[in-house]
Amino acid sequence: MDKALADLIRISNVTGKDSTLVQGGGGNTSVKTADGEYMYIKASGTALKDMSPRKGWRRMRLDAVLSVIEDKTLAKLNPHEREPEVVDRLLLACDDNVLGGARPSVESHLHAALERCVIHLHPLAVAAYVNAKNGRMQIEKIFRAEKFPPLWVPYTDPGFMLAKRIARLVESYQKQYGRKPAIMLLEKHGLFVTAGTADAALKLVRKVIKLCKSKLDEPKARKGKRIADSDIAATKSAIRKAVLDATGQSLPVTYFAPNKAVAAFMARKDSVKLLATPALNPDELVYANGPAMWLNKCDAETVAKKLKFLLDRGQKPSAAFIVKGLGLFVAADKKTTPVIGEIATGSLQIRMHAAKFGGILALNKRQQDFINNWEAEAFRKKLVSTKK
Ligand SMILES: [Zn+2]
């Protein structure tokens, strides 16, 4: 097996096993071959932990991927025409014997401009900063001692524009510091680390997480009241009825008993306010239809009214619900439910942390509209819900 592929599988499996690093299954990895001709990269729709020497990746011609970012005609197209074209071109840049036509990661072009080993993750500890109004300032403080500081990437629509912006920012970083950045923090998105070897890249991930965690308080365990099974059953049926009434969809409702973070969130006085901010990142918007809906108490009529209110305003109906004193409920098909549960729980933690760093920084209306229309995200969502 090519050393680059072996490295790719290792960095993917090591990071992918830790759910705090890959919220909602987000993240991707790549390794370039020693001769600089190819790049092995995670395939879209595969989880990092499930990648193996046989599946879950593609090999791409590096020059073909780079030519996509450099193509000036693509930059002039509107996103509806451009993004499907970019996805096709990235697929054409694949050069391997992988069967089944799995697409390379939608962030492939972005990887091409970076060092040999690239690890991109959506870690909770990083989201606390990239989703906070003073996050950038906090990051500068934490990494003050670094000779080569992390590169902060202001929010950019995902896809081609993000790849182009990163290529530009990396170039100017290189001019200033004489090398490419090893750590990049993407506003309202996540983390990129890039290094010459797999070990160095993994070490960087551990370092960033440790530094970021150093300023975050872990929620304390608290004793909650015993939750009656009858309350859970009644709430599930009320949500189910409300969703059917508001959307016409009959969806199963799943209950998640509160972990430390959810219990801490429910005990706060500002829970309503913290959930009133829109989706934190594309994943929360795409999978969970935005933040969880807060409910002081749960009856079908009230929930239906709230869902209809969202629909009337052109928003997607919430898939997650936090019911005071009980915990998290998710209304979705069985395959997407665990992803939504993870994202909704993670979002509560991020919101609590961000509140301490100057307030929550969420996607604005225009940014949400772009995501909702984004072809590649729709494709990724379809893959998750059809994955066994
Ligand atoms: Zn990402």
68's tokens? 């996509």
Task: Give distance in angstroms: CA of 315 to centre of ligand 1.
Answer: 23
Q: Are residues 239 and 209 in the same domain?
A: no
Query: Is there a domain that residue 107 lies in?
Result: yes
141's tokens? 């403080």
Task: Give distance in angstroms: CA of 122 to centre of ligand 1.
Answer: 6
What pLDDT score was predicted for residue 98?
A: 87
Task: Give distance in angstroms: CA of 156 to centre of ligand 1.
Answer: 12
Q: What is the dihedral of CA 344, 350, 355, 359, to 10 degrees?
A: -90
Q: Are residues 206 and 167 in the same domain?
A: yes
What pLDDT score was predicted for residue 387?
A: 45
Q: What is the pLDDT of residues 33-80, one digit of tens each?
A: 999 999 999 999 899 999 999 999 999 999 999 999 999 999 899 888
Task: Give distance in angstroms: CA of 23 to centre of ligand 1.
Answer: 10
Q: Are residues 307 and 249 in the same domain?
A: yes
Q: What is the pLDDT of residues 23-32, one digit of tens each?
A: 888 899 999 9
What pLDDT score was predicted for residue 388?
A: 35
> Distance of alpha carbon 121 from its chain centroid, rounded?
8
SS3 state of residue 343:
helix
Domain end (from 185, 213, 241): 213
Spatial CA neighbour of 40 closest among 55, 57, 63: 57
Query: CA 200 to CA 369: how far, in whole Å?
Result: 38
Query: Is there a domain that residue 285 lies in?
Result: yes
Low-confidence winner among 79-93, 273-287, 342-356, 357-371 (lowest mean pLDDT): 79-93
Q: Are residues 69 and 105 in the same domain?
A: yes
What pLDDT score was predicted for residue 43?
A: 95
Query: Is there a domain that residue 133 lies in?
Result: yes
SS3 state of residue 226:
coil
Query: Is there a domain that residue 47 lies in?
Result: yes
What pLDDT score was predicted for residue 374?
A: 73
Q: Are residues 236 and 169 in the same domain?
A: no
State the average pLDDT over residues 132-143: 97
Q: Are residues 133 and 180 in the same domain?
A: yes
Domain end (from 178, 213, 248): 213
Answer yes or no: is pLDDT of 340 > 70. Answer: yes
Number of domains within the chain? 2
- Residue 356's domain spans which residues? 229-381
Answer yes or no: is pLDDT of 378 > 70. Answer: no
Task: Give distance in angstroms: CA of 325 to centre of ligand 1.
Answer: 33
What pLDDT score was predicted for residue 377?
A: 54
> Distance of alpha carbon 178 from its chain centroid, rounded?
30
State the average pLDDT over residues 305-313: 96
Query: CA 158 to CA 359: how far, in whole Å?
Result: 23
Q: Are residues 180 and 265 in the same domain?
A: no
Query: CA 38 to CA 318: how far, in whole Å?
Result: 42
Q: Are residues 252 and 206 in the same domain?
A: no
Q: Mean pLDDT across the chain, nearest whole number?
A: 93
- CATH number of the domain where residue 104 is located: 3.40.225.10
Contact between 152 and 67 (Cβ < 8 Å): no
Contact between 94 and 124 (Cβ < 8 Å): no
Q: What is the pLDDT of residues 203-241, one digit of tens each?
A: 999 999 999 999 998 888 777 778 999 999 999 999 999
What pLDDT score was predicted for residue 106?
A: 84
Query: Is there a domain that residue 387 lies in?
Result: no
Domain end (from 213, 237, 256): 213
Q: Are residues 198 and 280 in the same domain?
A: no
Query: Is there a domain that residue 221 lies in?
Result: no
Q: Are residues 319 and 204 in the same domain?
A: no
Query: Is there a domain that residue 224 lies in?
Result: no
Query: Is there a domain that residue 222 lies in?
Result: no
Q: Are residues 140 and 196 in the same domain?
A: yes
Q: Are residues 254 and 175 in the same domain?
A: no
Query: CA 30 to CA 93: how far, in whole Å?
Result: 15
Task: Give distance in angstroms: CA of 334 to centre of ligand 1.
Answer: 24
Task: Give distance in angstroms: CA of 380 to centre of ligand 1.
Answer: 12
CB-based burial of residue 154 (10 Å sphere; 0-12 exposed, 13-18 middle, 19+ buried)?
A: exposed
